[in-house]
Chain A
């Protein structure tokens, strides 16, 4: 029984900084609980100042190797809003949505199968899965490859795409490649069906804490690329007005800021998207969600992993639909990109990165150079909510062993899919008895 203990998990600093979990419990009462993560965009905000309008998307795509498409498009949309570009055609939009789906698939696959699944299967890491659950590893690698190939075909590269620019695309996929992508997507269904059977066997921790769930939302699409900002607390605003609701404050124990909107914390990511946009999921994805016991509104943060999987199903379904529409309409190279005339102005680009709401806010001068940049990343927005969850969960499991408590805390943090370089470090938690 863990009456009194201290968990201090200090990540070795890597390229993106580090994250720590500090948990002190005395006589079954939490004395101190802090989850600290770095705020990496600060350097990039400074780096953008003075840059010409066509460079921020390439620079910010390097903020994170796992969500480079999301940063690319938050950046592109901010620039297009600032330049007053409002003639992005349907072909460009559909191709953007298509590539966006597959970064989400790339990231969700990695998290569901390689980072979260080992916890649920009771094995130490994804490496152990090779022996314990080889079918899971093979499914993960096949689906990841499919998503990589989709991003590569549309964006020119599997990571850090180069054809995606302000105004549109520098090159379009060929008709043959469109058919090839459709075949790849259709071939993914058996793996999704097999995944469903595996995921049904997972013992998801029974923990709930209602909070505010914020994502973008659209009346038609399950919004990833574009939409208003919407909350389960009943408000919806234009993405350009994010500052009306999204607040940040500096907290003493970390360089990262805490975010809040209607209450003291909110959640972003797959579960927030699911809770806000369930109606726009494909029928197939809804069926998968039902079979996995996921219904809106769901208040269990551990179900974020299941929401991520449901999103993979939706992305495959919706991609096939988008490809069919593009093939029917025909691809037109003359409409691959629209003219951009640099001008002074401010613009906001809001998208759903795999881990949640991502905001780029740029102000340009007359020459089309960045004067000011503000970036708000998903992991930072979840930071306060993770602490609130831990504060509520730990007393509920306080009679378990220290190891079990430690694992539960790690799993909860991992369920949020925080910056992946941080989450992998959670395999090395130090537990010191007091």
Chain B
């Protein structure tokens, strides 16, 4: 367990991919988690499925969370955005996660904030092209995986 410059031990960080691998680009979060297996050590990688309530529980038990998800925050299709959930309450109601089923991502983040859980939550989201039934990512979304992985690794080491 190594201490990084911001003093959050790796064991207190989590990387969560949300989504459904059978819903085309909605599976991007899980695909990235799968590819991170050999690239990240000491940080728990979580297949978060589609439960936003569990994000609240993860937030309660960690100091930093990096989320990878299919997110529409008004950016172009295939464009990746990164934001810190603590500082972007203006996003509430504007961001749309395609993956989370019990609450949506905005609601989960708002609840975490209301519960005064002070975990750093960084969201790395890509706007999907297709979220219909399907086992494959759209080629233009799949092509962005290396870029997303680099962003996650940088964030994980931050």
Contact = CB atoms under 8 A, between A and B. Distances in A.
Interface of A: 14-16, 43-44, 47, 59, 62, 64-66, 68, 110, 114-115, 125-127, 130-131, 137, 141, 144-145, 148, 157-160, 420-421, 424
Interface string B107-119: 1001100110000
Contacts of A157: 47
B49 interface: yes
Given A62-B20, A130-B111, A157-B47, A14 B98 contact: yes
What class of interface size applies to chain B in its complex with A? Answer: 20 to 34
A424 B131 contact: no
B101 interface: yes
Interface stretch (B7-15, B54-62, B78-86, B141-149): B54-62
28 contacts: A14-B101, A15-B26, A15-B131, A44-B22, A47-B133, A62-B22, A64-B50, A65-B20, A65-B51, A66-B101, A114-B53, A125-B107, A126-B103, A130-B111, A137-B111, A141-B53, A141-B57, A141-B60, A144-B54, A145-B57, A157-B47, A159-B47, A159-B50, A159-B51, A159-B54, A420-B102, A424-B104, A424-B107
A130 B114 contact: yes
Contacts of B56: 141
B53 A127 contact: no
A148 B61 CA distance: 13
Nearest to A113: B53
A236 B47 CA distance: 40
Nearest to B61: A145
Chain A interface helix/strand/loop/mixed: helix
Contact of A15 (B23, B51, B114, B115): B23
A141 B135 CA distance: 33
Chain B interface helix/strand/loop/mixed: loop
Q: Which of B26, B103, B131 gathers most chain A CB within 10 Å? A: B103
A44 B22 CA distance: 9
A421 B99 CA distance: 10
A420 B21 CA distance: 19
B133 A43 contact: yes
